[in-house]
Each structure stands twice: as structure tokens, then as C-alpha cells.
């Protein structure tokens, strides 16, 4: 039986329908265009120009992108930042999201006492300012006045302490783990909400069949929340390839030591605004921002047209 609302819309005069769409959607479309679409298009346009020493702009097409990907001055830091960004994302995928799934599974157990307290404590770092988090962990891990070394010595692990934020081999991984600590509450809460929506009849039937809590979670609950896990994964991808603030607050614009923590966000910041090592170049900065946009766009399209479609087929 057709939906009565659909019948009303179908019988409505076209002029009235367009007027209602303009009235309800027009302001939102105008605001979104002003603060999102226009800046994006303007950035892409800026990436196709160069500036002469006299300040005049001239069109160069894709030359800035060729320079970014092939010229040694730009390509070396770009590929270093892109590779670091990929490693930053991988750490979140193999550490943050599995732990978030496990925590959500534990918190969804009805026999667990104090679930509300645990949810609050785990989610609390997410509400903290990134500047506060970066400054606090800088103090905690400092080899001069930090408490990490003393705490590790107290439990017999003092020999394993190292200035992790000061070593090129460990600085990026350390900052990635700090980010995991801060934002693990987001995937936990999303997956926890999905677990709560699973019908109790399925869980009760599995329990009658003799399955324990772990097997119920692994064989019944986890497959049912795969769409949410996919959503968490793409949100992690977009957030990590847009990351900037935590690394900037911990290591500054130069993303030391020796650019070991440099990612696309910090590389873009130095290129666009400049720093003590180089003069800002808005055109090359716009080219970097455009490349970042297309990297994220490819990842999102892969999720929407490959991963999500397969999940929908699995659900059907």
C-alpha cells in the first residue's frame, strides 16, 4: 500500500513543491555552500596558480601538483608525511578500534556492575582539550621531570623507560598511542550503542543453546554490529588524515625529532603559513590541501561503494 505522504507529494503542484524545498532546504544549502563548498573550490583554484616576485598571480594548471610529487624539495617531505600519516592511521586501526570493540562488549554485559561509571571514565579524555592532553603527556613522559620513569621503576620496569617522544623511531608511535588513549571512547560508545540495539531474543536463544558470553559476542553480536564497525573505521580514516592538533601541541610545527612525527596536516601548515625554516607558499599549501582532500575522498568512496555494499549483501 503506497505511503499517504508519498501520495500527497506526488499530487502537489510542481511550483509549490519547489517553493517548499527552497523554503526548508534553501538556508541549509546556502550555509553549507558558504562555509564548505566555496572554500573547497577556492582552495582547488588557488592550487592552480603561482605568484611572481612582484605579487602577480598566473595560471599554471597542474604544475604545482607535479612539483609537489616530483621535485625533491617538496616530494621528500610530502612522501614522508604521507607515510607517517598512514602509520598513524594503522596504529589507530589495530589498537584503538579492537580495544573499543572489546570495551563495548564488556560494558554491554548486563551482569557488569558500575557500567555507567566505567563509561564515564573511559569517555572522559575525549572531552579534554587536545592542547591540555599534549601538554600533560609531555610532562608525564619527560625524562627530566616526568612521572613515567618513576612509575615504571616502582613496578620493576624502569630498565624499559626511554625518552620515547625524543627518539625518531618511537615518537610517532607514542603520539599515536596518546591519541588512542584520548579518543578510544568514541568507537567504544558507537559500538556500545549498536550492541544495545541487538534484540534480546537472539541472545536468549543463543544462551539456551549453551553458548557462553564470549561465543555469543563473537558469533552473534559482532556480525550484527559490522556496519557500525565499518562506520567507525571510516571515521577513524577521515579523522587521522585530517589530524594536526595533537602533533602540533606535542611537537610543534616542525613535528620533530627530524620530522619523524610529520604528517600531512603539519606539512600543510608549514607550507601554507611558513615557519622559521621556510617562507609560506599559499599556492603549494593549497595543492597539499587538495591532495589531502582527494586521499580522503578515495578512502570514503572505497568504503561507500565497496565495503558498505558488501555489508548490505551480507545483511540481506
Three cell numbers at 232?
Answer: 567507525
Contact criterion met (CB below 8 Å) for 280 and 271: yes
pLDDT surpasses 80 at 313: no
pLDDT of residue 65: 96
> Average pLDDT of 273-284?
84
Contact criterion met (CB below 8 Å) for 141 and 52: no
> Predicted confidence band at 316 (pLDDT cuts at 50, 70, 90)?
very low
Pairing of strands 57-59, 49-51: antiparallel
pLDDT of residue 6: 65
Tell me the per-residue pLDDT of 87-102, one tens digit each, with 9 for 90 and over.
999 999 999 999 999 9
pLDDT of residue 112: 85
B/e letters for 107-125, b = 16+ CB within 10 Å, e = fewer, are bbeeeeeeeeeebeebbee
- Per the prediction, the chain carries an average pLDDT of 90
pLDDT of residue 2: 55
Write down how long the chain is: 316
pLDDT of residue 283: 94
> Average pLDDT of 121-141?
93
Please report, rounded to a whole number, the percentage of residues in the chain having pLDDT higher than 90.
65
pLDDT surpasses 90 at 55: no
> Average pLDDT of 58-74?
93
pLDDT surpasses 70 at 78: yes
pLDDT surpasses 70 at 77: yes
pLDDT of residue 4: 62
What is the C-alpha to C-alpha distance for residues 278 and 275, in angstroms, rounded to an integer?
6
Contact criterion met (CB below 8 Å) for 44 and 290: yes
Contact criterion met (CB below 8 Å) for 261 and 247: yes
**Torsion angles phi and psi, residue 57, rounded to 5:** -95, 145
The Cβ-side half-sphere exposure at 175, using a 13 Å CA radius, reads 34
> Average pLDDT of 52-72?
91
> Average pLDDT of 165-191?
95
Contact criterion met (CB below 8 Å) for 192 and 232: no
pLDDT of residue 3: 59
pLDDT surpasses 80 at 312: no
More confident residue, 9 or 256: 256
Tell me the per-residue pLDDT of 206-263, one tens digit each, with 9 for 90 and over.
888 888 888 889 888 998 898 899 999 999 999 999 999 999 999 998 998 999 999 9
How many contiguous H segments (helices) and E segments (strands) does the chain have?
19, 4
pLDDT of residue 95: 96
Three-class secondary structure assignment of 248-315: HHHHCCCCCCCCCCCCHHHHHHHHHHEECCEECCHHHHHHHHHHHHHHHHHHHHHHHHHHHHHHHHHH
A 10 A CB-CB count for 130 gives 19
Amino acid at each position: 500500500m503506497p505511503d499517504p505522504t508519498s501520495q500527497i507529494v506526488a499530487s502537489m503542484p510542481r511550483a509549490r513543491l519547489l517553493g517548499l524545498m527552497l523554503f526548508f532546504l534553501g538556508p541549509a544549502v546556502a550555509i553549507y555552500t558558504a562555509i564548505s563548498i566555496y572554500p573547497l573550490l577556492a582552495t582547488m583554484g588557488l592550487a592552480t596558480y603561482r605568484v611572481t616576485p612582484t605579487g602577480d598571480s598566473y595560471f599554471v594548471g597542474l604544475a604545482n601538483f607535479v612539483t609537489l610529487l616530483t621535485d625533491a624539495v617538496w616530494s621528500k617531505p610530502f612522501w614522508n608525511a604521507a607515510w607517517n600519516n598512514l602509520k598513524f592511521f594503522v596504529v589507530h586501526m589495530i589498537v584503538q578500534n579492537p580495544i573499543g570493540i572489546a570495551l563495548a562488549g564488556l560494558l554491554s554485559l548486563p551482569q557488569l556492575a558500575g557500567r555507567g561509571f566505567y563509561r564515564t571514565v573511559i569517555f572522559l579524555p575525549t572531552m579534554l582539550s587536545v592542547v591540555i592532553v599534549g601538554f600533560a603527556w609531555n610532562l608525564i613522559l619527560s625524562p627530566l621531570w616526568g612521572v613515567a620513569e618513576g612509575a615504571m621503576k616502582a613496578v620493576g620496569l624502569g630498565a624499559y623507560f626511554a625518552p620515547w617522544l625524543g627518539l625518531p623511531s618511537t615518537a610517532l608511535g607514542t603520539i599515536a598511542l596518546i591519541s588512542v588513549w584520548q579518543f578510544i571512547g568514541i568507537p567504544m560508545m558507537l559500538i556500545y550503542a549498536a550492541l544495545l540495539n541487538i534484540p534480546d531474543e537472539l541472545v536468549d536463544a543463543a544462551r539456551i543453546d549453551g553458548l557462553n558470553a564470549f561465543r555469543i559476542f563473537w558469533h552473534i553480536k559482532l556480525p550484527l554490529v559490522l556496519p557500525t564497525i565499518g562506520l567507525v573505521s571510516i571515521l577513524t580514516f577521515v579523522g587521522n588524515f585530517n589530524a594536526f592538533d595533537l602533533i602540533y601541541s606535542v611537537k610543534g610545527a616542525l613535528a620533530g625529532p627530524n620530522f619523524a612525527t610529520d604528517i600531512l596536516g603539519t606539512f600543510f601548515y608549514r607550507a601554507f603559513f611558513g615557519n622559521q625554516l621556510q617562507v609560506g607558499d599559499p599556492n603549494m599549501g593549497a595543492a597539499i590541501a587538495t591532495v589531502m582532500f582527494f586521499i580522503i575522498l578515495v578512502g570514503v568512496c572505497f568504503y561507500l561503494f565497496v565495503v558498505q555494499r558488501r555489508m548490505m549483501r551480507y545483511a540481506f
